[in-house]
Amino acid sequence: MHEQNPVAAHESERTERPARERVGLALFGHTSGSHMLARLQQAEKAGIRQLWMTQFPTTVDTLTLFAAALVQTQSIRLGTAIVPTYPRHPLVMAQQAYTLEELGPGRLRLGIGTSHRHAIEGVYGFSMVEPLEQLREYLTILRAALWEGQVDFQGRFYTAHAAFAQPRRVPILISALRSRAFRLAGELADGAISWMCPHPYLLEKAKPALAEGAASRGRPVPPLLAHVPVALGSDWGQVLEAARRHLGFYTRAPFYRNMFADAGYPLSDDGLLPEELIRNLVIWGDEATVAARLRELLARGLDELVVALVPLVDDRRELEQLMALLGSL
């Protein structure tokens, strides 16, 4: 009797989910907590199934906001993309995840990552040495604390000895830009969250690295979540200008510059994002065109999409349009 490959079965189950379940909206906490909470409620009302937020050093604390959101929303899933590891000991992160899981069972996906040197060293004053190895230790402790309820760990970067009342199997995802990080996600995480990675790079380099890491541990390949900037407009010149303006920060971050080079888009001295890179990163057009392109990316092999608005003219109106679009997929 022929036995179904368990990895293939896992992949089939994932890709058979409706598109709306595989596409989430990314919001950024640059405004007040009450305003962000209203946006979360608005997203759920629009029919969005997954919302993602990142964590900046001096803005709204994402996990605190999520605690409020879980008791003021009904079903929308909440994910962090990502919470930096250095400022929070993994047991502190586990405590927060335990609390959120109790408030909204099954609705939290915890994305973690090392962040960037300018923030970790420049803002917090931590020494960022071998960040991927630090992340490996952090992930090991966090998974033991959440999934097993007990951790006894002594490593190079962390010490952790604790027992929790009961396991809470919160999915733990990690940020990934380059092959080594995608392999680590395959080995230990419940998913890899990419950011600013062009689609061909994700399909041709990231997914194989993710699968390689999973194979080394004999586990199913975890999902690859792709950040997808979206501009709701059909004027390519306007989209290009807006993308360079709103995404220009990433040209100054070494981790991203290295990833762009790996992807075949080395940055020139002018520091502008290459036009061809933006064409393979940003989805643009009217609502019907954008919806079709999002479905196409899922069909091509990206497991989930994390959609972020690139505003062109009217931020609020365009965000409302995007929410309606994602909620109707």
Task: For 229-285, give the DSSP string.
Answer: EEE--S-HHHHHHHHHHHSGGGGG-HHHHHHHHHTT----TT-PPPHHHHHTT-EES
CATH at residue 149: 3.20.20.30
pLDDT beneath 50, residues of the chain: 1-10, 12
- C-alpha to C-alpha distance for 202 and 174, rounded to whole angstroms: 15
What was the pLDDT predicted at 269?
A: 83
- C-alpha to C-alpha distance for 162 and 182, rounded to whole angstroms: 29
Q: Is residue 54 part of a domain?
A: yes
Does pTM top 0.85 for this prediction? yes
Q: Is residue 164 part of a domain?
A: yes
SS3 label, residue 304:
strand
What was the pLDDT predicted at 6?
A: 35
Q: Is residue 117 part of a domain?
A: yes
What was the pLDDT predicted at 271?
A: 81
Residue located via tokens 């995007």 = 322
Q: Is residue 1 part of a domain?
A: no
Q: Is residue 294 part of a domain?
A: yes
Contacts by residues 245-254 (CB-CB < 8 Å, ≥ 24 positions apart): 246/310, 246/311, 247/196, 247/273, 247/278, 247/310, 248/272, 248/273, 250/196, 253/116, 253/118, 254/116, 254/117
Range of the domain at 212: 6-327
Q: Is residue 254 part of a domain?
A: yes
What was the pLDDT predicted at 61?
A: 94
Name which of 302, 292, 300 is nearest 325 in CA terms: 292
Quote the number of domains for the chain. 1
Distance of CA 190 to the CA centre of its chain: 12
pLDDT tens-digit series, residues 171-220: 999 999 999 999 999 999 999 999 999 999 999 999 999 999 999 999 99
Q: Is residue 262 part of a domain?
A: yes
Cα dist from 222 to 173, 198, 215, 279, whole Å: 9, 20, 11, 27
What was the pLDDT predicted at 65?
A: 96
